[in-house]
Each structure stands twice: as C-alpha cells, then as structure tokens.
Structure 1
Amino acid sequence: MKDHYAILGIASDASSDEVRSAYRRKALQFHPDRNTAPEATDQFRDVQEAYETLSDVARRYAYDENRRRNLLEKPLETAREIWKNYLEGVLP
C-alpha cells in the first residue's frame, strides 16, 4: 500500500488546500517534460494517484480507513512501508 501522504510530503491531517498545493509542487518537480530522470515518470504517476485519492472526500476517507486497518492488523509491515516511503522522499 502506497503512502499517499508521504508521496505528496504532507501530514495526514492536511487540508484540501494543502493537498492541492503539495500536488502542484510535486507535479512540477516530477513532470516528464521538466524532469529527464528515468524514474520521474513513475514518480509523476504516483503523485497523480495520490492527489486523485486525497482530493476526493469519499476516496480519502476510504483510504484513511484502509490505512488505519492495515496499521492495526499488520503493524510491522505497515511501519516498514511507511519508513521506506519516507526515506525515499527524504534521501535523494
């Protein structure tokens, strides 16, 4: 399960304006026309998917509930995934 909040670099309680702002910033950073790195296209798709999920109220609620359940049912696996996404976002 991808951590959409980590992909956009925002907190899980971010407002819709913060989600939109983070999406625009990340989309500019990873857009294939602006970023020629081989992984930029995949990162751009991840940013789009994260925005589509978090900008829609119903989809965001469902995502948050699934995220909460995964954390309760599989805490180690979920923690590894969260840290992996966090470190990929922090380290170049």
Structure 2
Amino acid sequence: MTDHYTTLGLSSAATLADVKKAFRQQASFWHPDKNPAADAAARFRAVQEAYDVLSDADKRQAYDDNRRRNLLDSPIDTAREIWANYFNPLL
C-alpha cells in the first residue's frame, strides 16, 4: 500500500486546495505524454489514485482512519512502511 500523502508530496494536514494544487503539479510532471521516464505512466496512475481518495471527503476520512488503525495495530511495520515511502516513494 502506498501512502497517498507521500505520493502527492503532502502532509496529512493538507487542505483540499493543497491536494488539488499538488495533484495538478504531479499530474503535469508525470503525464506519460510529457515525461519520457519508463515509470511515468505508473507514477501518473498513482497520482490519480491519490487524488481520487484525498479529494473526496468520505474516502479521505476512511483512508485516514485506516492509516491510524494500521499504526495502532502494527506500529513497527507501519513505521517501516512510512520510512520506506519517505525515502523511496512509489517503489
């Protein structure tokens, strides 16, 4: 599971305006028609998925609740995942 906040380069306290702005920037950068990188299409899809979740209030609340639950249920595994995503996003 990837961290949607990391995908968009945001903190979990980001506003909807922050989410929209980050989405536009990341989508423009990773769009396969503009970026020749081999993984551009996959990163573009990840950016779209992150935006779909974080821009919808209900989906974002469910996502945030699940992130908190995972942290409480398995703090070491969750911390490792956050650490890995922070240094190697979208691996």
TM-score, normalised via structure 1 length: 0.93
- Does residue 66 (structure 1) correspond to residue 66 (structure 2)? The answer is yes
Q: Which amino acid aligns with 1:86?
A: Y
**Number of matched residues?**
89
- Does residue 38 (structure 1) correspond to residue 72 (structure 2)? The answer is no
Residue by residue, what CA displacement relative to the aligned partner does 1:32-85 show, whole Å, maximum 9, x if unpaired? 001111111111110000000000000000000000000110111111111111
Secondary structure of residue in 2 paired with 1:14: coil
Secondary structure of residue in 2 paired with 1:7: helix
After TM superposition, which residue ranges in structure 1, 4 or more long, deviate above 2 angstroms? Answer: none
User: Identity rate of aligned residues, in percent?
Assistant: 54
Could you tell me which runs of 5 or more consecutive residues in structure 2 were left unpaired when the two chains were aligned: none
Secondary structure of residue in 1 paired with 2:14: coil
Alpha-carbon distance between aligned partners in 2 of 1:86 and 1:29, rounded to the nearest angstrom: 19
TM-score, normalised via structure 2 length: 0.94
Report what 1:22 is aligned to.
22
Q: How well do the aligned residues superpose, as a CA RMSD in angstroms?
A: 0.8
Q: Which amino acid aligns with 1:23?
A: F
Alpha-carbon distance between aligned partners in 1 of 2:73 and 2:3, rounded to the nearest angstrom: 16
